[in-house]
Each structure stands twice: as structure tokens, then as C-alpha cells.
A and B are shown apart, each in its own frame.
Chain A
Amino acid sequence: MLPLVFAVGACQELEQEVLDGVTSEDIANSTNPNLINVLKASAYSRIVGSWGGHNSIWSIQEVSSDEMAIPQKGADWEDGGQWIRMHRHTWNPQEESFNNSWNYCYSAIGEINNLLIQYPDVAALNAELKVLRALVYLWLIDSFGNVPIIEETSIGGNPTNNTRAEVFAFIEKSIKDNMDQLVKEDTKTTVNYYTAQAMLAKLYLNAGIYTGTPKWAEAEAAADAVINSGKYSLSSNFFANFSERNGGSTENILTLPYDQNNAGGFNLPQMTLHYLSQRTYNLQEQPWNGYASLEEFYNKFDDKDVRKNSFLEGPQFASDGTRLNDISAEATDPDGQPLTFTPQINMLAPNAFRQAGVRVGKFEFASGAASSLNNDYPLIRLGDIILIKAEAAFRQGKTAAALTAINQIRKRANVSEYTTLTLDNIFDERGFEMFAEASRRTDLIRFGKWNLPWWEKQASQPFRALFPIPQNQINANPALKQNPGY
């Protein structure tokens, strides 16, 4: 008898309970009024995620430019040569950081599309999510170019590449169709109407690169919409935009709201500081002694320029004022054991001195900081928009308007205002202003300097202006085609 009962039981379908997580059905059936906001915030948290960590999209944008490198110190930071290749423009499609960047973008897109399917009737949310999705595509068009456009209406099958021009049109349409439904208040950590305008400004500024057809007037108009809104103003203290408590910055338009406890992932102190700097800032973990700026880039800064404090340079001290001493300093290092961040880096690889290179000091390292910072990361900032205005105006021949804009920035930086202007002035100013804000690579490409040689980087071929589609993605999706040249 008993066996029979069980025999019947054995043929039944079994329901798998989930005890410590939720399924998509649970989400669909929930009536919790907070859920929609939390899900929206979850989509944002994908973007907060790994942006500011090592091996991220920030890393590939910065290390491939002439403002940053990760010198190899003996065994340390050799790491398979990825970062040497990144700086020398000899990377290959297998680099882990390309794949990380791709996943970072597309997991956010998947999350957004799932939300759009789940809440098809909430118009304001739909508009916001579509603009947020466009923001992610802005990084994709800039880094990888010919990427698949995946919308909530896309159906089965492997996604295929779209051309960079198609992606451009998609971003433009997504923003324009939805921006009027966005709020105009300064929301800071979510996209609003001015974020959308700023995104348009950035998109049009690079239209020549992305599509072959420049759109300077459109870039200027979009920048003007932000500048003239009166919602944002330059902070008198440049570094207030990057401090640990920068949530009140009047200048930041869209930030990634990092929080060491709730929203980790901004690991700059680990990435750039020397091992011994742990004692300067009483850091919770020992830093990795990696990212440093290039001497030539650092030396371009005027000594009077307050923005030169974006670097940590010179002798380093413990928090109690004692001089830090690196007993493992190379015997050949002319600076000896006392820890000093020198602008000169003796070589990129293999034996850069441990203390060589000025470090990224633009973001405040609060005493007792965890490996992940509390500082919010400015993705879009008025200072950048003003420089876009200057450049777009200048390229249309409106020098006076350009001078007005650029001098606002120079004045705040305590450097002399320009009376005449060249394209190189604008390029340099963008370097001073936007250091460590993942802008340099795009600027180098737009100003035609990307393929030129610098320091330990030789002239590179034009196809290097696009990163390769990550090999892992091509393996996972054979319908994807590699970018030309790779």
C-alpha cells in the first residue's frame, strides 16, 4: 500500500520553492507601492555598479588616454600585460576589461527592458527609463560603436550589430521622444530634463565622429538649454564637486550616488594610492599602487591653476605628520626611500619605480575611508557642458560666445582669461577641467590626437579609435560581428 502511494507521488510534478529570493512571478504579483521605485533604483544601481572600480569602463577610457597609465612595477601590475597594452593601444578583443564594460552596459539595458515590459502603462517611468537606456548607449556608441540596439520590443534570436549611425539615431530619438515627460527639478541622481539636454549636447558634439556629419549647432543649442535653465551654477570651489559630501554641489547634474555601505564600487583610493598611503588617510584596506598620471599631462597645468590639486604630488606623510618611508623602494630610485610622488615615471614597464607618478587626487579621500568611497561620481557636470558650448560655438565661428564660456571656467580655476582662442586651447582646457572624469579618450579622438604618439605609446592605427567587441560576447553570440581592424 505504502509503496503505491509513493509510486504515485514519484510521478507528480514537483514545485520548487524559493525560500530566500524572489522570482519574476513574485515581482509581477507584488502590490508593494515601494516596489516600482526600488526597481527603478535597481536599474540605476546597475549603472552605479562597477563604473568606478578597477577593470571597468572607466578604466579602459582613462588608461587608453594620455592622462593616465598603470605602470608595471616589477611583478606588480604586470597582470598579463593588459594595462600596458591598454596604454600603448595594442589591446586585443580578449581583454577582460572590455568584457566587463560590455556586461556593465548590457545588464543595465536588460534590466531596463524588463521594467519597461513590466510597467507599460506608467508613462513618466517609461520616459525616464528610455532616457536612462540612451545614456547607457551613449557609452556604448563611444566605446564600441557598432553595437546591437535592444529595446523592450525586441524579440527572440541573437541580437546583431547596428551601425554606429543607427545607434546615434536611436539615442537621439530616445532622448527627443521622451525628454518632455521628464521632471525639470534638480534630481541629481536620476535623469531629468536637463540630463537629457546634456546628453544631447554630448551626442551632437561627437556627431562628426559617430556619423561623419558634425552637428555643432545642435550641440550648442542643447548645451544652452542646460546653461540657460538657471537650475545649475558653477561651484565656486571646484573640489566641492568631488568631495566626500558632494551631494549638495550646484554644478553636478547627474551623479552616481556611491555610498561605502549601500552602494559600493568606487574604488579609487585602492586603485591609485601607494601601499603606504593607507597611513596618510587611515584607509581600511591597503591600496594597490596602480593608476598614475603622465608627467607631460601634469606639467601642462599652470602652477596657479587650482585644478592642479587634482593630483597628489610630492612628499607623503602619515596622518600623524611623520614622513612615510618605503623600505622596499628600488635601490636605483633617485628619490630613495622617503615616499614621494614624482611627476616623472621612469618607464611604463617592466620596472617603474614604486613611487613614480602623480596620483589621482581629484576626489577627496576622507580619513578612515573604506575601499569604496562615499563621494558621488559626477557623470554630467555643468563645467563640462559650458566647455561643450565653448567648443561647439567656436567650431561654428562664434568666437565671442566661445570665449565667454571658456573664461567662466578659467576664472573659476584662477587662471588668466583668454582673449583669443584656438582649438588647442579648448582641447587643453577640457584636459584641465575633465581630468579623471572619463572624457579624455573621446576628446583625443574628436580633436584628432588619438592616434598620435605620446610618452611610451607609439602612433596607433585609425581603427583603434573603436574598442573591439569583446571576444566573450562574440563567443556567446555568433551573430555579433567584430569591429573592423580586429
Chain B
Amino acid sequence: MSNYLPKLKSLMLAFALVLSVMATVNAQNRTISGTILDAALGDPVPGATVLVKGTTRGTATDLDGKFTLQLQAGDQTLVVSFVGYLTQEIEIGNQTTITVNLEEDIQSLQEAVVIGYGSQDKKEITSAVVGVKPEDFNRGNITNPAQLLQGKVAGLSITRPGGNPNNGFTVRLRGLSTFGANSSPLIVLDGVIGASIENVDPNDIQSIDVLKDGSAAAIYGARGSSGVILITTTKQGKKEGTTNVNINTFGTMDQATNLIPVLSPEEFVARGGTDFGSKTDWRDELIDNAFSYTTNASVSGSFGNSNYMAAVNYRDNNGIVNGVGNERLNTRLNLSQGALNNRLRLNINLSFTNVDSESINDAAFRYATIYNPTAPITESTETAINRFGGYFQRDLFDFYNPVALAKQQKFVGETKTALTSYRAEFDILSNLTLTAQYSQDRRNTLSGGFWSLQDFQVGIGATGSAERNTFDRKQRIFESTLRYETDLSDKLNMTLLGGVGVQYTTNQGFNARVRQYLFDLGWNNLGAGAIRVGNNTNVSSFANEDQLNSVFGRANFNWDNIVFVSASVRSETYSGFGENNQTGIFPAFSVGSDFTQVFDMGLFSQFKPRVSYGVTGNLPPSPTLALGVYGNGNRIDLDGDPLTQNDIFVGINQFSNPNKDLKWETKKEFNVGIDFGIWDNKVTGSVDYYTRNISDLLFNVPVATGAPNPFDPGRFNTASSTWVNLADLRAAGFEFAVGVTQIGKGALKWTPNLNFTIYDKTTIESLSNGDLGFEELRFATPGSPGQNNNPIIYNRVGQTLGDIYGPKLNGLTEDGQYILSTTDPNQFEKLGNGLPKGEFGFANNLMWGQWNLSFFLRGAWGHDLYNSYRGFYENADPASNTWNSVITDKTPTNPLVVSTPTFNSSVVEDASFIRLDNMELGYNVKTKSANLSSLRFYAAAQNLFTITNYTGIDPEVRTNDSENGDAFTSALSPGIERRNTYFQTRSFTLGVTVNFK
């Protein structure tokens, strides 16, 4: 839209100038003059067109919004128009001077939809694309752009279980499209592919467009399989010729909510728990209300061919535990300048973000829930003072004082991101535009970890330890496109786009960890750590780079606004593919037709069925997987004598076998949908049904170790696995979205928007490629103590992805022993599935004079969660005299379960939920000031209530297993709530927004 508007404006202006010249030629003696104003702001509108109706005579307004026009006999009506405003017709009568107030045309502003490499009129869109505007964004303390969209787009699932302000959001479009790391949609920020989302502050976003189906995303080829989210930042002032200053500031309070009930000290002792004689509410000791502050300030303006926007955003977010939080400063400058009568347009977008974050060991949340409630926080014994810094600690398995843990281990990070992009557009002809864009996206992270000398978990054994890490990513993209638009006949319009691109990515990092300190100097002085080899130490670095070359083209046809066709293809050559498969081709085709242009559709003002098909890909998570690279093995002392140093080397080990056939993952998606509008587009919406087949998924497959490598003849498999393209997945879904603009009478207006998705869950059709592969993949063991070996997620061929398997609990014996259906893992039954059957979002905006109230309900249904707190800590088994027990509504109490905790059907719970995600009440102060254009006060609340039968921490959908560090298998084990989950939070925000002009 950003590129769409200025372009249109300049075209209109040029058109108007031509008209005014013609008007001068035809001069007559009668004149009319006037001023064109913005109805809302009262500001002049320069460049507006004033035409005599039924003629080609007219003029354009000057910078002050004024015009003068020669009239001829018989001229009766003037037509005043400007992009973004409703066109008005004025009866001339006997008037010689007129003033026209133009009303903003909200509908028309919304019509442009950003697609890859340009924008398109909404009516021409033939694939599943959804645009979201700022007025529809989520409210409250929004720290991450993804959060703006949570629940707003059918098929787009955005989750962050627990309330940790340092955790990112997991974003999935239409379910899982890869096992690998790139399961989140591709972010395209102002045309920069794959930009880090940290580069943009939510406050600077003008629009977000989601390319949902394969056809729309296919223009992004091998990066498009997980869908594409296009983010456009504000580039210019609200009105030509004015400067806008916007200041928004708010404060937020977070509090913990929905803590799982545990035994009181008395109940704990009565159940046989060890009594240390105190009474401590550990969660109360660990957590506190947290206060966060945000200020956004921006200045923007548009003057002729110059547009600018500069913004600074400061956010200080604190978590409910001391030592968890982040401070973020984001600065943005967007500049554009036209030259050569605006035929040449230059854009520069600069953004810089610094984030300083600190966090604790999340295990503190687990221990705060289950630590002995009779233990004191500190004690004054000699051991406690000398060894533990005064904290109470006992030598028991998996038993750490949570208050000490949160204080005696520290983790910090400083991330600096800089995105700079430079873009030139040149109109070779009025309908032929050449564009070139270069961008550089850098992200540098420096982090530190610290384990005190007195930290009971790690520090004491290591005698204090600390580390420093860096991780730096640099991505450079050069892209050039050529766009040509023409009318092939008076009814058939064609737009052609062709382009090439090259992308270089570099990742590098460094880690140093030492141990054995005399003082707690941490990462500030790694030299003070005496031991630099062995356990709890490390010196390492890594680097990789890759190159992706692309060629792409697209053709769009519009036949008389009745039939729309789009076809595209992208070819991608990637250095990280195996040498036998270096280039992939990704085609797409879509067609749609607006029936209301042909038939009388009654109430319908739009009824556009559309069909699309597209092929997209996914890149390997690391560029060297095809090569079977050798990494570091053991340090080898050739003569075994530690005194001779010149014969020590680090050996080499092959971690994965080479595969010269390695290639992209392929997703083929078919989409049928209808875009509709009823009652003159008072009600608009869309319905979509999609089916997708994902094949050639990349997976590290166990191979016959030691056997000849089928992918690398002449060599043997020394690693036990090879990266191979295998598996077929099939998924489908139904999406529905409807919105109504401003129903109501008088001052009260209600704007509801509803969307929902029904998933036909992902089915695994195959997990193999020839002889290689699996009949099933089992993942996710509950963990220690005692549940380390039985995975609970079975991915079976022919079944849905991520099924939860285990024994059925058929009841309890009289004395409280489990009666399990079986103990043989091969006899386990399907107990549930962690992915939802459906998700919905229901937004409501109520306006009443200066007041507005918005509230947003979001939910998911048909998903299960493994409640690991119940899975480990609800039984009255012998271990419960050490750890406190949880008592939920689902915990059996008569009799108490005395068996050793074992995973079974009773701890897999239906986690369907409805949540009041956010709610905001705002008041717009009426202003008559010449300098103040608006003043608004607001109060917001997030996560006000949740309706659910789930008894764990947060019923939010878990698409990934947080304790599975392997990106390739964590997505295959959804539906697990781990014990280290950060507590849920509820937030209250108070803020004020001021606009100056």
C-alpha cells in the first residue's frame, strides 16, 4: 500500500496538470474559484482534481488547496476528487467561490492489498491473502509485531504459553509445513525478505498482509512454504503538506495468575512430608507484580515528492520474577524522495534496535511450585552461610531452593539489529518501471551466563562458572524487478513482473566458558576462571555462509473487472542443496471472477469465487548438510604424555553422512475460496478451503551405520544418520472470516469481526524415502525422575501428526495403585493430540461519541495437553515426602494415588479454551486547538479470564516441545506442557496518545 498510494497520487497529479493546461487553452470569460479542505482536519488538500462534469476540462488545487477554473456556458456541475477521499459533485449555480470539504474514503484506503513485489487492488486478488490494519490490531502492552495479529487471521496461529516477556511467539500458518526450523511464516519487511522481526516496533506498522495459500506465497519460492507475512511500516504523513507528531506512552502492571494449587505446609506434613519447621509460600517469594513502561514518539510528513517518517520507541518490560525483563530501544527513519518529475523515486529505510534482556533459570518456576513448604528461605547454619550464601539447601535429588536459583544463576543478552534498505524506482515509460533494492540485515547478539560459587545446582560443583557468547547474522539481498502494465484490449488489462535476486547469508558465533573462580566475577572476567578445559567449560566458534540466486516472473490479467488471472514462477538456486539438485522451480496459478459484475446477485455487492494452486519450498536449516562435514572430535594426545604439548590435536568426526541429492522441501497447495460483500460491502468476508501436500521433508535419518553410503558411493557411513528428503504429509482446513462495519444507531456503533478455522489435522502419509525412513517416530519422554525412557508422542504413518500415546488408566485399586491397561510401549493407545481441531477470534469494537471499547475473545478447541505437573507431582508416592504435591480439580483424592508417577491417560487433558485476550476502553478528548489534532486516554487489560477445563498452567496450544532442543523433532511433539513453564500473567495498562500537527 505504501508504494501504491504515492504512485497513484503522483499519477493523478500529473493527470490534473495536463487537464489544467487544456483548460487554459479553452479559456472563457466566466471563472469559479475555491478551496478544497479535508473535512476532518480542516487542512487544505493540494493536488485535488476539479473537473467539469461530462467534460475533460478541469484543474488541480495548489499547495494551499485553492483552484481557479474557467467555465463555459452550460457547465452545471463540478466533480472534485482525490485519492483517499470520497468524490463529491457540486452544483455550480451562480457561485463564483466555493469551499468543498472532502470526506476520507476509508473503504478505498483498504482496497489496496500488499502482495509480493507490489500491491494489488483487493478486488483483483485471486488467492488467499488477508490484510490487517492498525485499527484491527490487538491492544494492550504489545511488544512483538506477531502479537498484533494473534487471533486476527483465520488459519494463523500465534502462541506464547506462559507470560515470559523474553520469549518469542510461535507462529504457524495453516499448521505445520516442515519438521525443521523454518516453521514460522517468512517475514517480508518493507520488501526485505527474511528480515528479523526485531527490526520493527509494533507502533510503526501501517499494515500487515498475510499470504496464506501456496499460490500467493509461491513468488517467494523456496522460502514460502510456511506462508508469508508482509509488514509495511509507515512512510509518510497523514496529509500532504503537514507534519504529524505522535506521542504514545503507557504503563503496564503484570501479575501472576492461575497458579496450580499445592498442599499447605500442614497438609504436606500430614501426608508424610519432611518437616523443616517453617512455612514458606515459595511462589509468593519468587514472584511479584511487575511494572513496565513504553513510550513511542514519531514525526512524519509529506511535502510534494518528499515523504518521511522518523520514530523512536522505548520499551522497558519487566517480568513477574526479579531478574526477568528486557529494555528495548528502536529507532526508525523512512525517507523517500522523487526526482525527474517523480519518475525516479528513491527510498531509504533505516532501523536500529537494541534489546538488553535478562533472564533466570526457568526451573525456578518448577521448584517454586514443588519445593518443600516447610523449608525456610534462609538459615544461619555454618554450612548454609559458607556454602550456599545463607540459603536453605539440602543434598537431595533434583531439589533446589527456587529463590536461591533465581538469584545465583543469571543470563543476559544484548541484541543489536540494524536493517538498512535502499530502493530506487524508475519509470522508463509511464507503464514500465524498473526497481532495484539492496538491503542489509544485521543481528548481533552478545550474551552471558553466570553460575555463582554458591549456586547449589551447578556452581558449587564447578566452583563458579561463567560464559560469554556471540551470535551474529548478516543477510544481504539485492533484487531487481521490471514491471510492465498495459491494456491488451479495451477490456483486458495485463501486468507483467519479472525479477532477479541474490541473497547472501552469513552466520557466525563464539563461545567461551570457564570455571573455578575465587570470587563471583562472572562473565566480566573470564580470565579469573582457572579451568578452561573439561566439564562446564568451552572454547568454540562457528561460521557458515550461503548464497541463494533467484529468477522470478508473474503475469496478472484483469478482464473487464470480471475475471482475474494470476500466474507466477520462481526458480531458486541454493548453494546448500546437494550438487545433484541445485535448482528448484516453484510455479503458481490462480483465477477468480466477480459474479456481481455479470449476474444480479441480490444482496451481494461482491461475490468472487477463486481457485488457486501453488508450489512452495523450504530451505535446509543449515547450508552444509549435504556435504557430510567433519566437525571436532576428541582432543587427542598422540603419545599420551601430558607434558609434551606439540602432539596434541583435535580429531575429526563426521556427524552426518553426505547426501549429494539433498534438496528443498516441497509444498503443493490447492485453495478454493469466495470473497464476498453484502449490502454495499457493509458486511465483508471470505471463506477458504485448502488442501496441502508436503513432501521431501528434510530429516536426519538413521542409516545402517558403517554400511556403504548410498548417497556417496565409495565411502562408508561413519555417522549413524544422514540428512535425507523423505516423508509426505497431507493437511486441509476450512477458514471463515466475516466483518461488519459500524452497525448501530445514533452515536453507538458496533464493529464486530469474527474468524475461525477448522483444521483437518496433518496426516502422515509416509515417513520414508526408498529403504530409508521410519514406520513411526517417537519423541518426548516426560523426563527425570524415572520417566526418561518412554516417549509419549508417536508419529505413525497413516495417523495424525503428534498423537499422544500411553497406557490407559483403567482405575485405581482400593489402596490407590494404578490399574494401567498395559506397560508395553507397543500396546499403548492413542490418548489425544496436541494440535487443535479449530481456532477462533472474535473482535468487537464499540464506539459511542468520544468513547470506544474494544474487546477480543480468542480460543482453540479440540487439543489436548500433557499436564506434566500432574504427571510428576500429584501422587502420594514415597517421593512426595520430598517434593510438595499439586492438587488440581482432576487429582484423585479418595484414595490418593500411591503408585510411582507413570505417564497415563489421566494426565492428558482436553485443553480447549476461550480467553478474553484483550480489552481496551479509550476516550478521545475533543480538541479545538490549532496544534493538537487528537488526544486519547486508554486503559487496557490482557488475559482477563480464561474458560477451560485444563488444570495446568496455560491451556494455550503447544506446537513445539520446549524441552526438546532439536529443532527437527520439537515440532513433532506438540501438546506437552513442561514443568519449567513460566507462569501465566494478567496485565493492566494505562496510556495516553497525543497527536500534534
Complex contact A476–B701 (CB within 8 A)? yes
Question: Which A40-69 residues have a C-beta within 8 angstroms of B?
Answer: 41-42, 45-46, 48
| A327 / chain B contacts, CB cutoff of 8 Å | 274, 394, 396
| A39 / chain B contacts, CB cutoff of 8 Å | 651-652
Q: Which residue of B lies closest to A187 (CB)?
A: B640
Complex contact B638–A37 (CB within 8 A)? yes
Q: How far is the CA of A278 from the CA of B399 in the complex (A)?
A: 14
Selected interface stretch from B133-141, B314-322, B411-419, B622-630: B622-630
Complex contact B881–A328 (CB within 8 A)? yes
Q: Determine which residue in B436, B500, B573, B775 has the highest number of CB atoms from chain A within 10 A of its CB, and name it.
A: B500
What distance in Å separates the Cβ of B991 from its nearest Cβ neighbour in chain A? 47
| B899 / chain A contacts, CB cutoff of 8 Å | 350
Give per-residue flags for B305-349: 1 if the beta carbon is below 8 A from chain A beta carbons, else 0. Answer: 000000000000000000000000000000000000000000000
Complex contact A24–B631 (CB within 8 A)? no
What distance in Å separates the Cβ of B776 from its nearest Cβ neighbour in chain A? 9
Complex contact B774–A15 (CB within 8 A)? no
Give per-residue flags for A53-88: 1 if the beta carbon is below 8 A from chain B beta carbons, else 0. Answer: 000000000000000000010111111111000000
Q: Which residue of A lies closest to B636 (CB)?
A: A41
Give per-residue flags for A105-122: 1 if the beta carbon is below 8 A from chain B beta carbons, else 0. Answer: 111111101100100000
Complex contact A257–B708 (CB within 8 A)? no
| B849 / chain A contacts, CB cutoff of 8 Å | none
Selected interface stretch from A5-13, A212-220, A221-229, A305-313: A5-13
Question: Which B886-904 residues have a C-beta within 8 angstroms of A?
Answer: 899-902
Complex contact B576–A16 (CB within 8 A)? yes
B461: interface (CB < 8 Å): yes
Number of interface residues of B (CB under 8 A): 106
Complex contact A23–B629 (CB within 8 A)? yes
Complex contact A24–B636 (CB within 8 A)? no
Contact (A189, B630) CB under 8 Å given A158-B707, A159-B704: no
| A21 / chain B contacts, CB cutoff of 8 Å | 624, 629-631
Q: How far is the CA of A326 from the CA of B536 in the complex (A)?
A: 27
Complex contact A284–B535 (CB within 8 A)? yes
B395: interface (CB < 8 Å): yes
| A473 / chain B contacts, CB cutoff of 8 Å | 702, 704-705
A437: interface (CB < 8 Å): no
Q: How far is the CA of A7 from the CA of B706 in the complex (A)?
A: 43
| Residue from the list A152, A257, A478 in contact with B640, Cβ < 8 A | A257
Complex contact A78–B786 (CB within 8 A)? yes
Q: How far is the CA of A480 from the CA of B771 in the complex (A)?
A: 12
Give per-residue flags for B539-555: 1 if the beta carbon is below 8 A from chain A beta carbons, else 0. Answer: 00111111101110000
Q: Which residue of A lies closest to B630 (CB)?
A: A22
Q: Which residue of B lies closest to A349 (CB)?
A: B900
Contact (A10, B787) CB under 8 Å given A21-B631, A109-B706: no
Complex contact B877–A74 (CB within 8 A)? yes
B714: interface (CB < 8 Å): yes
B502: interface (CB < 8 Å): yes
Complex contact B573–A12 (CB within 8 A)? yes
Complex contact B500–A27 (CB within 8 A)? no
Q: How far is the CA of A156 from the CA of B631 in the complex (A)?
A: 25
| Residue from the list A80, A108, A157, A331 in contact with B788, Cβ < 8 A | A80
What distance in Å separates the Cβ of A438 from its nearest Cβ neighbour in chain B? 21
Complex contact B710–A156 (CB within 8 A)? yes
| Residue from the list B636, B716, B877 in contact with A75, Cβ < 8 A | B877
| B703 / chain A contacts, CB cutoff of 8 Å | 476-477
Q: Which residue of A lies closest to B872 (CB)?
A: A75
Q: Which residue of A lies closest to B457 (CB)?
A: A286
Contact (A38, B651) CB under 8 Å given A74-B877, A76-B397, A331-B272: yes
Complex contact B501–A6 (CB within 8 A)? yes
B482: interface (CB < 8 Å): yes
A246: interface (CB < 8 Å): no
Complex contact A45–B651 (CB within 8 A)? yes
What distance in Å separates the Cβ of A467 from its nearest Cβ neighbour in chain B? 16
A164: interface (CB < 8 Å): no
Q: How far is the CA of A152 from the CA of B708 in the complex (A)?
A: 9
Complex contact B719–A75 (CB within 8 A)? no
B649: interface (CB < 8 Å): yes
A276: interface (CB < 8 Å): yes
B289: interface (CB < 8 Å): no
Complex contact B789–A289 (CB within 8 A)? no
| A324 / chain B contacts, CB cutoff of 8 Å | 395
Q: How far is the CA of A38 from the CA of B649 in the complex (A)?
A: 7
Give per-residue flags for A182-207: 1 if the beta carbon is below 8 A from chain B beta carbons, else 0. Answer: 00000011000000000000000000
A362: interface (CB < 8 Å): no
Q: How many A-B residue pairs have CB under 8 A?
A: 298
| B784 / chain A contacts, CB cutoff of 8 Å | 76
| B454 / chain A contacts, CB cutoff of 8 Å | none
A239: interface (CB < 8 Å): no
Question: Which A262-297 residues have a C-beta within 8 angstroms of B?
Answer: 262-264, 275-276, 278-279, 283-286, 289
Complex contact B395–A275 (CB within 8 A)? yes
Complex contact B704–A76 (CB within 8 A)? no
A475: interface (CB < 8 Å): yes
Give per-residue flags for B702-733: 1 if the beta carbon is below 8 A from chain A beta carbons, else 0. Answer: 11111110100111111110000000000000
Chain A interface residue count: which class? 35 or more
Q: How far is the CA of A293 from the CA of B790 in the complex (A)?
A: 25
| B635 / chain A contacts, CB cutoff of 8 Å | 259, 261-263
Q: Which residue of B lies closest to A44 (CB)?
A: B636
Question: Which A435-486 residues have a C-beta within 8 angstroms of B?
Answer: 472-473, 475-478, 480
| Residue from the list A6, A16, A41, A289 in contact with B638, Cβ < 8 A | A41
What distance in Å separates the Cβ of B235 from its nearest Cβ neighbour in chain A? 25
What distance in Å separates the Cβ of A367 from its nearest Cβ neighbour in chain B? 13
Complex contact B574–A14 (CB within 8 A)? yes
Question: Which A338-352 residues have a C-beta within 8 angstroms of B?
Answer: 350-351
What distance in Å separates the Cβ of A399 from its nearest Cβ neighbour in chain B? 41
Complex contact B462–A284 (CB within 8 A)? yes
| B651 / chain A contacts, CB cutoff of 8 Å | 38-39, 41-42, 45
Q: Which residue of A lies closest to B583 (CB)?
A: A11
| B478 / chain A contacts, CB cutoff of 8 Å | 6
Q: How far is the CA of A150 from the CA of B714 in the complex (A)?
A: 13
| B508 / chain A contacts, CB cutoff of 8 Å | 19
Q: How far is the CA of A330 from the CA of B882 in the complex (A)?
A: 10
Complex contact A260–B535 (CB within 8 A)? yes
Give per-residue flags for B883-925: 1 if the beta carbon is below 8 A from chain A beta carbons, else 0. Answer: 0000000000000000111100000000000000000000000
Contact (A16, B627) CB under 8 Å given A6-B480, A75-B901: yes
Question: Which B526-565 residues have a C-beta within 8 angstroms of A?
Answer: 533-536, 541-547, 549-551
B658: interface (CB < 8 Å): yes
Q: Which residue of B lies closest to A15 (CB)?
A: B575
Question: Which B761-790 residues have a C-beta within 8 angstroms of A?
Answer: 771-775, 781, 784-790
Q: How far is the CA of A78 from the CA of B482 in the complex (A)?
A: 65
What 6 pairs across the A-B complex have the smallest Cβ distances?
Answer: A80-B789, A106-B706, A75-B786, A80-B790, A106-B705, A78-B786
* B residues in contact (CB < 8 Å) with A: 272, 274, 394-397, 436, 461-462, 478, 480, 482, 498-502, 508, 533-536, 541-547, 549-551, 571, 573-576, 579, 582-583, 623-624, 626-631, 633-638, 640, 647-649, 651-654, 658, 701-708, 710, 713-720, 771-775, 781, 784-790, 823, 825-826, 872, 877-879, 881-882, 899-902
25 A-B residue contacts at CB 8 Å?
Answer: A6-B502, A6-B549, A16-B627, A18-B544, A20-B542, A41-B651, A45-B634, A74-B877, A75-B879, A79-B788, A79-B790, A102-B705, A108-B706, A109-B706, A110-B705, A110-B719, A159-B706, A188-B640, A259-B635, A262-B637, A264-B634, A275-B396, A276-B395, A324-B395, A372-B535
Q: A42-B653, A259-B637 are in contact. List 6 more A-B contacts (CB 8 A).
A: A21-B631, A45-B653, A76-B785, A105-B706, A261-B533, A328-B396
* A residues in contact (CB < 8 Å) with B: 2-3, 6-7, 9-24, 27, 34, 37-39, 41-42, 45-46, 48, 72, 74-82, 92, 94, 96, 102-103, 105-111, 113-114, 117, 148, 150, 152, 154-159, 188-189, 247, 257, 259-264, 275-276, 278-279, 283-286, 289, 324, 326-328, 330-331, 350-351, 370-372, 472-473, 475-478, 480
